[in-house]
Amino acid sequence: MILPADHPPVAAPRIGVLLVNLGTPDAPDARSVRRYLAQFLSDRRVVEIPQILWQPILRGIILTTRPKKSAHAYAQVWTDEGSPLAAITRAQSDALQRALGGAAEVAYAMRYGEPAIGPAIDALVAAGCRRILVAPLYPQYCAATTATVVDAVGDHLKTLRWQPALRFLPPYHDDRAYLNALRASVETGLAALDFVPDVLLASFHGMPQRTLELGDPYHCQCQKTARLLSDMLGRPVEVAFQSRFGRAKWLEPATDGQLEALGKAGKSVAVFAPGFAADCLETLEELAIRGRQQFAEAGGGNFAYLPCLNADAPGMAMIEALVRRELAGWL
């Protein structure tokens, strides 16, 4: 139908933006951590062992021992606004909403725990969004993180009669907006130190070595991020992989081993975690607290942990640029 020239403007369909991160427990106690880990570690994308073998190990060993230990670690980094990952993701969502104004409705969700992806999509649809950009906040693509967000969105869409149209933000490991944000953030972090570190160490979350052999691009994308950033900073950036889980061989070198070796060599070091969009247990406890201790005990000199992009200006400029580019495809 062709509308007459004097027809009132037809309202454009609203666009929703859903930022998604991994998820975190609701409270730093063993019960909440157990609930969170049970969901997270039952995801077949995360632990790729047949469920018939894995579930007895998970229920019988992991979930009876790890929650207490992990809850203790969470308690050390918990804030008045809750888990750092939850508080920072909320702040990113609020800041993006302010930046985009009426151009889109912004919400956030967690792949595991709350707020869950399904209800967040429902809320955007209820707010009139017939188009939704889902943005998994993982710069480097990994089946255990990026793909599982797509799976969860797909599972929820299966339950809807009237589905919204979807786009997914692609991984951004080599995107100028990301590299510029990292550069600004690292340069600011280094300038605030009262020492010049011998080594700048980029610590990425680890993955089983097998995932690299099976074709997961994660390892290569981490290396590429570090190489491009090193070119931009004009200094070497060393790469290591943290947070090993289980007995299988994980990507190497391991961050804890590198910190120990650097400590023994009497070096000074600045560590940052470019694969994490927001500071969380793995950065604040594992790197900034435990990593610092390991390094000092090995005899290391000065140590600094440089924060993630979080909701600070360079990180928000990046998220806004990445999101606006995707939204442009709909305008």
Ligand X SMILES: C=CC1=C(C)c2cc3[nH]c(cc4nc(cc5[nH]c(cc1n2)c(C)c5CCC(=O)O)C(CCC(=O)O)=C4C)c(C)c3C=C
Q: How far apart, in whole angstroms, are the C-alpha atoms of residue 331 and residue 280? A: 35
Question: Using the rule CB under 6 A, is 216 a contact of ligand X?
Answer: no
Query: Is there a contact between 42 and 58 (Cβ–Cβ < 8 Å)?
Result: yes
Taking CB under 6 A as the rule, which mask of x and - marks residues 146-185 in contact with ligand X?
A: ----------------------------------------
The one-letter code for the residue type at 82 is: G
The one-letter code for the residue type at 219 is: H
Question: Using the rule CB under 6 A, is 83 a contact of ligand X?
Answer: yes
Q: Which of residues 121-140 bind ligand X (CB under 6 A)?
A: 138
For ligand X, the closer of residues 131 and 173 by Cβ is 173
Question: Using the rule CB under 6 A, is 72 a contact of ligand X?
Answer: no
Q: Of the ranges 171-179, 201-209, 293-301, 306-314, which one interacts with ligand X (CB under 6 A)?
A: 201-209
The one-letter code for the residue type at 88 is: I
Question: Using the rule CB under 5 A, is 286 a contact of Fe ion?
Answer: yes
Tokens 């004009």 locate to 234
Select from ligand X, Fe ion, none the partner in contact with residue 145, using the beta carbon and a kind-dependent cut-off of 5 to 8 Å.
Answer: ligand X
For Fe ion, the closer of residues 105 and 282 by Cβ is 282
Q: Which residues of 124-153 are buried (b: 16+ CB within 10 A; e: fewer)?
A: bbeeebebbbbbbbbbbbbbbbbebbbbbb
Rounded (5°) CA angle 308-90-160: 120
The answer to whether 282 is annotated as binding is: yes
How many angstroms from the chain centroid is the CA of residue 39?
A: 17
Out of 35, 66, 167, 183, name the contact with ligand X by CB under 6 A. Answer: 66
Query: Is there a contact between 278 and 264 (Cβ–Cβ < 8 Å)?
Result: no
Polymer length of the chain: 331
Question: Using the rule CB under 6 A, is 92 a contact of ligand X?
Answer: no
Select from ligand X, Fe ion, none the partner in contact with residue 276, using the beta carbon and a kind-dependent cut-off of 5 to 8 Å.
Answer: ligand X
Residue 29, SS3? coil
Interacting residues of 130 by C-beta distance below 8 A, sequence separation 6+: 13, 14, 164, 165
Q: How far apart, in whole angstroms, are the C-alpha atoms of residue 100 and residue 152? A: 26
For Fe ion, the closer of residues 73 and 270 by Cβ is 73
Question: Using the rule CB under 5 A, is 140 a contact of Fe ion?
Answer: no
Question: Using the rule CB under 6 A, is 226 a contact of ligand X?
Answer: no
Question: What is the contact surface with ligand X in residues (CB under 6 A)?
Answer: 22, 24, 37, 46-47, 66, 70, 83, 85, 138, 142, 144-145, 205, 207-208, 243, 245, 275-276, 280-282
